[in-house]
Amino acid sequence: MAKSKIKEKTLVIVKPDAFQRGLLGEIVDRFEQKGLKLVGLKMAQLTDGTLGEHYAEHRGKHFYQKLKEFMKKMPVVLIVWEGLEAVSVVRTLCGDQLMARKLYQEL
């Protein structure tokens, strides 16, 4: 029996440097080409509290403070995508962060 695909929603944060470099249109286009539907978009200046919650798993790591400072430096764009297996599609486009963390820990 084939596994049925699930309609999901997921958040993508377009980081300050990508937004500043004018890559937002290209980023949106790539996700849409993969069949995802943009269902929410907001430009925001992230607070220390929001970043602390979002990056809680990194608290205590050597890069945590620099990451938070970078993300507070300029506005970000928050995008909610919807589609079949949306989480998997986003991970494929952006890179699997779990795999990246495992490789980083091995270094």
Q: Quick one: average pLDDT of 75-97? A: 91
What is the Cα–Cα distance from 28 to 1, expressed in whole angstroms?
Answer: 34
CATH of the domain at 22: 3.30.70.141
What's the confidence (pLDDT) of residue 95? 78
In a domain, residue 87? The reply is yes
In a domain, residue 2? The reply is no
pLDDT greater than 70 at residue 30: yes
Could you tell me the pLDDT band of residue 100, with boundaries at 50, 70 and 90?
A: low
What's the confidence (pLDDT) of residue 37? 98
Q: Quick one: average pLDDT of 41-66? A: 93
In a domain, residue 61? The reply is yes
User: How many domains, in total, are found in the chain?
Assistant: 1
pLDDT greater than 80 at residue 87: yes
In a domain, residue 15? The reply is yes
Average pLDDT across the chain, whole number: 88
In a domain, residue 88? The reply is yes
In a domain, residue 1? The reply is no
Supply the range of the domain harboring residue 51: 7-106
Contact of 98 with 57, CB cutoff 8 Å: no
